[in-house]
Amino acid sequence: MKVVIQRVAHASVSVNNEVFSKIGKGLLVLVGLDHEDSEAKFDFFIKKILNLRIFADETGKMNRSVQDVGGEVLLVSQFTLYGDCANGNRPSFTGAMAPDKAKALYSQFVSKFSAEYQKTYDGIFGAYMQIELQNDGPVTFIIEK
């Protein structure tokens, strides 16, 4: 499982030119699943995302989590995080989980994440989406396990 976490001033997901989900201050989290992922990794990633101290405190230091600042979280599935570009000019996606399995596992991840943190929104798995965001900082982290 791999996530790209971006601290944002705001972000939105649109499908067919209609906004499906949007957030204000918070985190845009791109989620990639590989063929070996399972629910066993959920707790680690949920805890890490919700407790990662990447928002400024009163002194300007990164010392507050998304929960501490009352921010929102936008989860977006992105299988291209497992695109291998090492050989040739066309990415290989053999490392990504098969779409049917990924859809089920991603849905479980979103459900569990939402149960832990109410201010959670997501995109539409497998849809062609437009993501708009204002990266705050910029602050971006990649976590893989």
Catalytic residue numbers?
78-80
Q: Tell me the C-alpha distance between 59 and 61, whole Å.
A: 6
Picking from 22, 44, 36, 50, the residue whose alpha carbon sits closest to that of residue 123 is 22
String of DSSP letters for 32-87:
E-BTT--GGGHHHHHHHHHH---EE-TTSSEEE-TTTTT-EEEEEE-GGGG-B-SS
**Residue 96 burial (C-beta neighbours within 10 Å; 0-12, 13-18, 19+):** buried
Provide the 8-state DSSP code for 119.
S
Q: Tell me the C-alpha distance between 14 and 16, whole Å.
A: 7
